[in-house]
Every structure is written in structure tokens, then in C-alpha cells.
């Protein structure tokens, strides 16, 4: 009698265990096949960011269109590490194809604080991307190389970035085009924002100065211009304008990035 009872308990326990295991794999399958739009609904993005997605798995796939403040940045391939969720964060490996180049990065987002951190941001894009993204009167040309080791941001509190960049063959199309040559950027955190120090190595106009990005997305720039090689009439006009507006050929400007 005792043996049959123990056998019955084992059968019930084994059946319950099997059902729990099946339920676990069923729920796991639902999560793995979860559409990306559901995941975005659970962990909403900032209001400026909109994604146009298909029925891909939440953990890997392609976002057909990434829009920031109404501007289309291109398509995004992503792979998510779901087990990071056990540590209270989501980790994405992303590749942004802008149609004018590609940028890769690893993105971590805290599920508790909303803090976003990017690592190993690497890529090269054509400056044609900025025609749609930036509300600039002057069209720019050239290739932009990005090598940022880290970016951390929490809007209204801080935005920190560190690394370097290079804008090759920068041309600002004012008065027929002004050549700034190649411009190097050094990026580092400063207070609650990020300071970008820049200097050009060649071109008809040589530029040196800085751009400060604050935690609210505001930018303030201070750029000194001086004559380089083979100065054109357009370059001379801009140099004269800088000297007329600010002493020493310095241009200052402030605007809102986001």
C-alpha cells in the first residue's frame, strides 16, 4: 500500500513537473516570437523617437525606419540579449544603415531608471545624411568617421560622450562651396554635458574651436577661422564676415539639437 502511494505521488509530481516545463517553454516561445512593437510598448521610447517595424522577433530583426523628431535616419538591424533583463537592463547590438553609410553600437538601457548607455559606437557616413536630419541652410559634403567609446544620457540630467571623430573633405556649400579640408574631433564629458574640441588640418579655411552639448540637447559653438591654402572668394567672404561679427575671426552660435 505504501509503495503504491509513493508511486502515485511520484507520478503526480512527475506529471506536474512536465506540465510546468511545457508551460515554461510555451511562454519562452511566446516571448521569443514577440513582435518588436509589443516590446516597444512595454518599454516605451522617448516621444521624439518612432520605429516602423514588421513582425520580426523581438530579439532579432530589422526596423524598417527609425525616425527622430520626424527625420528618417534609415533602417536598423538589431539583436537583443534577453538575459540582461535579469540584471534590470536591456542590451541591444545595433547596426544603423542610413543609406549614406553605417553605424554600429552596443546599447544598454536600464529598465529602472531609463538611463541609456552606448558602447563601441563605430561607423562612417556620408554627410548627405545631414541634409534631412539637420535644419541647416548650408548643405555640407564629405565623409564623417565616428569612433566613440561611450555615450551615456539621461535627458535633463546629463549627456556624456567620449571618443573621437573625423570629417573628411568637409565642404560647406555657401557661395559656390568653401573647403575646410579634414576636421578632427575630440569628444569628452564636461560637467553635465559633452565638450567637442575640433581642429582642421587643411583647406582654404582653417577652423579651431569647441562645441558644448548640454543635458537638454542645447549646443553652443565657438569657432575661430583663419586663412588656409588657395582661399576662394566665398572663403574670403566668410572670413570677413567672421571678423566683422566677432573680433579675431570667431564665429559663435547656439541652437537646439533635440
Grid cell in block for residue 198: 575640433
CA 256 – CA 258 distance, rounded (Å): 6
pLDDT given at position 96: 86
Angle (CA) 46 198 247, round 5°? 110
Provide the residue-wise pLDDT of the chain in tens; the chain has 258 residues. 544 544 443 443 444 444 444 444 434 444 444 445 545 544 556 666 677 765 556 577 777 877 776 677 778 887 877 677 667 777 888 888 888 889 999 988 887 877 888 899 999 988 877 765 555 555 678 899 999 999 988 877 888 999 999 999 988 877 778 889 899 999 999 999 999 999 998 889 889 999 999 988 888 889 888 888 888 888 888 888 776 555 457 878 887 766
CA 185 – CA 187 distance, rounded (Å): 6
Q: In the chain, what are the domain boundaries? A: 47-256
- SS3 of 168, please? strand
Which of 87, 154, 147 has the alpha carbon at shortest distance from 120?
Answer: 147
Per-residue burial over 8-38, b if 16 or more Cβ lie within 10 Å, else e, is eeeeeeeeeeeeeeeeeeeeeeeeeeeebee
Amino acid at each position: 500500500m505504501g509503495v503504491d502511494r509513493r508511486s502515485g505521488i511520484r507520478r503526480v509530481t512527475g506529471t506536474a513537473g512536465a506540465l510546468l516545463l511545457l508551460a515554461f517553454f510555451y511562454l519562452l516561445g511566446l516571448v521569443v516570437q514577440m513582435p518588436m512593437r509589443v516590446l516597444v510598448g512595454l518599454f516605451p521610447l522617448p516621444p521624439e523617437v518612432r520605429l516602423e517595424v514588421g513582425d520580426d522577433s523581438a530579439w532579432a530583426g530589422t526596423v524598417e525606419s527609425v525616425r527622430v523628431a520626424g527625420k528618417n535616419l534609415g533602417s536598423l538591424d538589431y539583436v537583443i540579449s534577453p538575459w540582461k533583463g535579469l540584471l534590470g537592463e536591456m542590451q541591444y547590438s545595433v547596426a544603423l544603415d542610413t543609406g549614406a553609410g553605417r553605424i554600429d553600437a552596443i546599447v544598454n538601457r536600464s529598465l529602472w531608471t531609463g538611463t541609456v548607455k552606448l558602447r563601441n559606437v563605430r561607423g562612417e557616413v556620408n554627410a548627405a545624411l545631414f541634409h534631412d536630419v539637420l535644419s541647416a541652410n548650408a548643405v555640407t559634403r564629405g565623409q564623417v568617421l565616428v569612433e566613440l567609446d561611450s555615450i551615456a544620457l539621461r535627458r535633463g540630467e546629463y549627456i556624456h560622450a567620449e571618443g573621437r571623430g573625423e570629417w573628411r573633405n568637409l565642404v560647406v556649400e555657401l557661395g559656390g562651396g568653401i573647403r575646410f579640408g579634414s576636421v578632427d574631433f575630440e569628444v569628452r564629458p564636461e560637467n553635465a554635458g559633452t565638450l567637442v574640441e575640433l581642429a582642421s588640418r587643411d583647406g582654404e579655411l582653417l577652423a579651431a574651436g569647441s562645441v558644448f552639448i548640454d543635458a537638454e540637447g542645447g549646443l553652443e559653438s565657438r569657432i575661430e577661422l583663419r586663412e588656409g591654402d588657395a582661399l576662394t572668394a566665398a572663403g574670403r567672404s566668410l572670413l570677413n564676415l567672421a571678423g566683422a561679427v566677432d573680433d579675431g575671426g570667431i564665429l559663435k552660435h547656439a541652437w537646439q539639437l533635440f
